[in-house]
Structure formats: structure tokens, C-alpha cells
A and B are shown apart, each in its own frame.
Chain A
């Protein structure tokens, strides 16, 4: 195990005198900066997602290119016929009554907005309020995110804990980890103190690809930013493409969160949640092979 004992956040060697009853040791797993940023982001990303869905409700159509409005062809649209909610992606229609396009609110009224009230902030239609939430919480996403990213580069978190090593990236190793995950056989003992390669790739992907993409596509929708930084438009192929990518990446982040929560549940939610609150993690029992 690579460790520099004594520095907060580093993985400490297992204590020699384990607690009474449970002989498996508690180890330090997450440093304070990671824990703080995790919980701040849990709140911020949820607010960004839910207020973002409300903003989407104002014009539930997505386009590619520079322009796009009602008369132009949308690659994705959420709408409703007289009695059916529908999601259209390209030429394919998916019936979504009850979930998207046509649903009943908690007071029993039929609503024809794209995303339902339980998924949006606020829970009723208000573009202006959703924008207030979205654009204020964006600061909580960006400023601590930049600080955390920078701090993680400086304190070695990225290099030591997040960056996959060359050997880990070998297709055989990655495939082995995928198979182990699919069988719900998670690392035990000393290996459980480190992130496995799938974790590393997904955390690096969220931290250094998805979140920056969210912020940059968000800025590319700002007419003032487009004037000042026209490369934003070139980078994403126009404002409406940026809006589409903003939505797609948001859905990827939703997928990440769902898998993340599932993994926490499967790996032992008490131990996992505790380690993200107190930083201390009890090493999983060795499997009998």
C-alpha cells in the first residue's frame, strides 16, 4: 500500500488494535476536501438538474446547429397528442404518458409540460424561478469545483488515487473488473482501500470531462459570453448544438448518479455513506474463495 502516514486524508495503515467485536479495521478513506465537495455537489447537482429540467420545459425541443425554433426540425422533442405523452428522438416515438409530456400533478390536474412537477424546481411552471435557481447554484458548482479540481491536482489526489495506472488500463484488466462488477464481487481487504479502474475512469470522466462540458455548454448558451468568447460557439458547433450537448451530458450525469447510488447500495450503504461523512471505512470481509 502506498501511504504517507500522518498526513490527513492519506490511507493510514490498519490500526494494530482493532475495535472490540469486529476485527476488521477502520481505515481512512476520503480526505476532508473530497467529503466536503461530495456533499456540496450532491445538493448542487440535484438542484442544477431539477431546475434545468424546468428550463427545458419552456421549450422542450432540441436542435443541432446555430439556430433552432418551432419551425425548424428538432432531433428530440417531448410533447403530447390529445391523450398521449410522447418522447420523440429522431424518427422514433416513445409513449410516455404519466411521465413525460402528459401527466397528472399531485392535485390531480392533468399537465402537459415535458418533465413532471416532482422532477423540477420549482414544482410548478416558472421559467424565471428555475433560471434564478439554476444560475445562482451554477456558482456553487463552478467555484468549489474549480477549487477542488485544482486542490486535487496539487495534493496528489488525482495522481495517486484517481489516475489509472498503465497496467490497470490493459484491456484484460478492465474486462476483469467489468466481469467482477457484473458478478457483484467487489474488492475486499487492502484492495478495497483504493479505487478500482472502473471507479477511476468514471470519477475522472465526471470530474474532468462531464462537469467541464456542462459548464462550457452552459456558457455557450449565454449571448454575452458568445460575444466575448466566440470559440465557445466553434467548439460546440453553434448555440443550439451546445444546448443539445448540455442536455445529453446532463443525462449522462443522471446515469452516473444512478449507477453510483446502486453501487453504494450493493457495496454496503452504511459503510460507504459513513466513509463519505467521517472519512473512515471498514475494510470488507475477505471472501472465501
Chain B
């Protein structure tokens, strides 16, 4: 009896320390991390299953906007090309659209701004937990993809960016459910002015049902692909490859 009593007591006392050491060891195990990744697949499937795929993110009134919209990540790409584009107001800058499209394109900022545009006041949710509300103006991504003519085999849209991170330029990807969504725009305007440099000038992605790291800034190339395997480290984005963030950033 006493020994069992002691056993339960020492189990309780030891379990705290063991749990912590155990969790860190589990966290380092590739097999366990793969198991946890299963949660991501489950979450994405469940969210897609129980929600309307075309549901619109809430749009806010102008007075609901954050007084200061926090910019995050890169606030100024460091390359000489970007500096040159910035110096002449992005007049020679081009957006390339290629990959699995019928008609690869190179569009100037003036051409993009002349296209039909959408203005929306939406909430930006960072993976860290903070939110900021801002107004965005841009061309629906769907229009750009329609002009380029998405091929049958295309499954994902990859955004190649001008901002440099350790070892790579920023890149992100979304699937066609989000790419063709009416609120998914390539924004060139913010809060009634041209998109500022810290927020991704001249052109950034707004994909309103996803966390902030999906909203690629400084986009200079949009590529349609059938698989993400050949993009960067194969997980579909800079943070996904470098720090094991989830590719599905809807939660």
C-alpha cells in the first residue's frame, strides 16, 4: 500500500520534469513532427469541408482602420535593382506572369493600374497574434490569371518577391481556391495612396482569409505551377521552408 502510495506521489512529482524534457525531445524528432503536421492537413480539410469556399472576409468601415498599420518583415528590399526601380517611380518595373499559362506576360505598373480594380478594407492578422485594419486597392488576381490563360495542369500560384531574406528572396504560394477568390487582389494602393515601400511597393498580394505571411510583398513574378516540390525547399514558401510554418495559413 505504502509503496503504491509513494509510487503515485513520485510519478506526479516526476511527471512535470519528464513532460518538459519529453516534449522537447519529441519536438526534435522528425517522425513526431511529421505526426503533428498531420494536424495541419486535418485542419485544412476540415475548414474547407465545413465552410463556404467562396466566403468573403469581413470588410470594415474607413473609421475602423488602425491609426498606424504596422509593417512587418522587410521594410525596404536591399538590392540595387529595387533601389533603381524606386528611384524612377517603378516606371521600368514589370510584373511577369509565367509558368503553366498559355500567354506569359510582362505588365507595367501603369498597365496594372489601368485594369479594373477592387478596394477593400480588411483585417491583416499576423501569425504572431496582432491585427491591423487597412484599405487596399488592386487588381483581382483572377483577372491577371484569366488574361495569361491558366493551363489545366496549374494547381498553385507562386509569388516571387524582391525582398531578401537570409539565403533567399521571399516567395509564397496559394492554391486556386484562394487565388481565384474575389477578394484576392494584387494591391498597388493602400489607405487611398500608392502602396508605401514598407508595405510592399509597388505590388503586393492580399489573400484575405490567410495569415500575414501569405501576403507576399514586393511581388515581381507570378508563376503558375502543378506542384510546389520544385519551389524553394518544397514546402511552398520562405517561412514554410526556413522555419516549418504551416503552408495552410487559414488558422
Contacts and interface: CB of A to CB of B under 8 A. Distances in A.
A228 B8 contact: no
A129 B66 contact: no
Contacts of B57: 223, 226-227
B33 interface: yes
A72 B67 contact: yes
B131 A136 contact: no
Given A58-B129, A61-B130, A70-B130, A132 B37 contact: yes
A67 B66 contact: yes
Contact of A123 (B24, B127, B130): B24
B58 A227 contact: yes
A229 interface: yes
Contact-residue size bin, chain A (C-beta under 8 Å from the other chain)? 35 or more
Contacts of A61: 130
Interface in A223-248: 223-230, 233, 239-240, 243
Given A124-B24, A269-B12, 12 more contacts: A59-B128, A61-B130, A69-B131, A70-B70, A128-B245, A129-B27, A133-B23, A135-B43, A224-B47, A225-B51, A239-B125, A269-B9
> Shortest 3 CB-CB distances between A and B: which pairs?
A136-B39, A224-B250, A228-B51
B24 A59 contact: no
Contact of B42 (A139, A270, A273): A139
Nearest to A123: B24
Given A71-B68, A132-B36, A230 B43 contact: no
Nearest to B56: A227
Interface string A35-55: 000000000001100100001
Contacts of A133: 23, 27, 36
Interface stretch (B92-100, B161-169, B190-198, B207-215): B207-215
| Chain A facing B: main interface SS | helix
Contact-residue size bin, chain B (C-beta under 8 Å from the other chain)? 35 or more
A67 B132 contact: yes
A45 to B, nearest CB: 12
A118 interface: yes
A46 B19 contact: yes
B51 A227 contact: yes
Nearest to B37: A132
A227 B53 CA distance: 9
Interface in B30-82: 33, 35-40, 42-43, 47, 50-52, 55-58, 60, 64, 66-68, 70
Contacts of B38: 136
A66 B27 contact: no
B216 to A, nearest CB: 16
B130 A222 contact: no
B36 A221 contact: no
A127 B128 CA distance: 8
Contact of B23 (A121, A228, A230): A121
Contact of A239 (B24, B36, B123): B123
A68 B131 contact: yes
Interface in B122-139: 123, 125-133
Contacts of A129: 27, 33, 244
B36 A136 contact: yes
Contacts of B128: 58-59, 127
A259 to B, nearest CB: 16
12 contacts: A70-B70, A122-B27, A123-B20, A123-B24, A127-B127, A128-B244, A132-B40, A219-B251, A222-B251, A223-B123, A239-B131, A273-B8
Nearest to B211: A223
A230 B70 contact: no
Contacts of B239: 128
